[in-house]
Amino acid sequence: MTVPRDFKEPARCRPDLVIGREELFAQAREQLNRGGSVLLHGTAGIGKSTVLRALATECGEAARTVLRCSATESESHLPFLALADLLGLVLGEVSDKLPAAQRTALESALTGRGESTLQRDGLALRLAVLSALRALAAEGPVLVVADDVQWLDPASAELLGFAARRLGETPVRMLCAVRTDGPEYDRHLRALPPDSLAVRLNPLSRAQVSALLDHRGYTGLQRSTVRDIHRTSGGNPLFALELGRALAENPTPPRPGEPLPVPTSLRALVLNRLGMLSEEARHTLLVASAGARPTPALLHTAGRENAEAEMAQAAALGLLATEAEGPAVRFAHPLISAALYAEAPAQERRAAHRALSTAASDPIERARHLALATVGTDPEVAARLAEAATLARDRGAPSMAASLG
């Protein structure tokens, strides 16, 4: 199969808005240019719809017909809704090319008249979708663009899958996106033709997050702030933008060493799961989120006696990463740690820092916790901070020294 001439010119048709993703574009473009289909998958907010739109615009130029649907969670129980979005506008064009039984089945499914169900109209409906796509493709290439496939109503997903498996060399390409946390994107491939390419969207790099923030008007951020945003967002563009917005709106920037303010919009993503933790386990995780490199031993020393059992509870809820990586306590996503901290009442946070100010083994770390455990100025704290600042300077860490001094 020949690859069209423009295949190696990524920037040509790509809207400037999309930052990074060069490799992903190249892979998807190559697959689509040779007539194949693509499933983009990744976590919430990672940028699937953004890439999907850009690819659809680019590839749509070579298609005679572009069929689109974008499922929503609240409507996923409505049978044939996605199919109606996809085929509703072209029904007039194709219906007289279908055998009568298929036409009736498709029309009653799409219009909601005649109580159509997949059980009742079974084969006629399946064949009707296939025939409709073939009829359209006979006039010129077809591109099917489907976003949020995880919410596709099951009837539409089934019908699309049936057609996709039988299209063969018919020029119908599918470009889909699905929100998943892990390998379960697999089952969504069933709605696409065999040999479709599944491409995962990975986190953005720090430089890309920085470019994204710049691009959206959050300019002039300190490098350390961009680093914090990148870390807390885990390279997720939606999270990074929300964190940037919260910082821009926040009249009091976080104190040095304190996590970034997490806006309510993002806390909501993890609050459900946090709500399932026992009160004691939440306290333990709060201490972990306040610590720099928390370990079970540190949590013990900080007075969390049942740290192991509570961590197991948190891991079972998906709040902590389960894969063993040395003795460190690792949150499943940095945002969980930041949201937990942001949600905790100020006095609980101070108590966590107070516990860590004696438990941490590093003197600079202890001084930092002491500062965050204290409201106002306390002469003893001030003296300890000055001491730690000298120590930090001696170790050649001027920015840490500045934040403590």
- Positions touching Mg ion (CB under 5 A) are 49
19 binds, among Mg ion, ligand ATP, none (CB under 5 to 8 A by kind): ligand ATP
Identify which of residues 70 and 306 has a Cβ nearer to Mg ion in the complex. Answer: 70
Identify which of residues 49 and 295 has a Cβ nearer to Mg ion in the complex. Answer: 49
46 binds, among Mg ion, ligand ATP, none (CB under 5 to 8 A by kind): ligand ATP
Give the dihedral sign, CA 252/256/257/260: positive
Cα(143)–Cα(320) distance, integer angstroms: 41
- Tokens found for residue 179: 């929100």
Taking residue 359's Cβ as centre, other Cβ atoms within 10 Å add up to: 21
Amino acid at 14: R
212 binds, among Mg ion, ligand ATP, none (CB under 5 to 8 A by kind): ligand ATP
* Coil, strand or helix at 204: coil
45 binds, among ligand ATP, Mg ion, none (CB under 5 to 8 A by kind): ligand ATP
Q: How far is the CB of 184 from ligand ATP (least distance, A)?
A: 14
Q: How far is the CB of 319 from ligand ATP (least distance, A)?
A: 20
- Tokens found for residue 25: 């574009």
**Residue with nearest beta carbon to ligand ATP:** 47
47 binds, among Mg ion, ligand ATP, none (CB under 5 to 8 A by kind): ligand ATP
Identify which of residues 45 and 291 has a Cβ nearer to ligand ATP in the complex. Answer: 45
Whether residue 329 contacts residue 263, with contact meaning beta carbons closer than 8 Å, is answered with no
Q: How far is the CB of 42 from Mg ion (least distance, A)?
A: 9
| Closest listed residue to residue 130, CA positions, set 94, 154, 82 | 94
Identify which of residues 46 and 86 has a Cβ nearer to ligand ATP in the complex. Answer: 46
Identify which of residues 78 and 238 has a Cβ nearer to ligand ATP in the complex. Answer: 238
Cα(175)–Cα(68) distance, integer angstroms: 10
310 binds, among Mg ion, ligand ATP, none (CB under 5 to 8 A by kind): none
Residue-by-residue DSSP string for 16-74: TT--S-HHHHHHHHHHHHTT--EEEEESTTSSHHHHHHHHHHHHHTT-SEEEEEE--GG
Q: How far is the CB of 210 from ligand ATP (least distance, A)?
A: 12
- Judge residue 230's burial from the number of C-beta atoms within 10 Å of its C-beta, 0-12 exposed, 13-18 middle, 19 or more buried: buried
Amino acid at 349: R
263 binds, among Mg ion, ligand ATP, none (CB under 5 to 8 A by kind): none
Q: How far is the CB of 196 from Mg ion (least distance, A)?
A: 19
Q: How far is the CB of 215 from ligand ATP (least distance, A)?
A: 7
Q: How far is the CB of 270 from ligand ATP (least distance, A)?
A: 15
Residue 372 is inside which H or E element, if any? helix 363-373
Binding positions for ligand ATP, rule: CB under 6 A = 17-21, 42, 44-50, 148, 179, 212, 237-238, 241
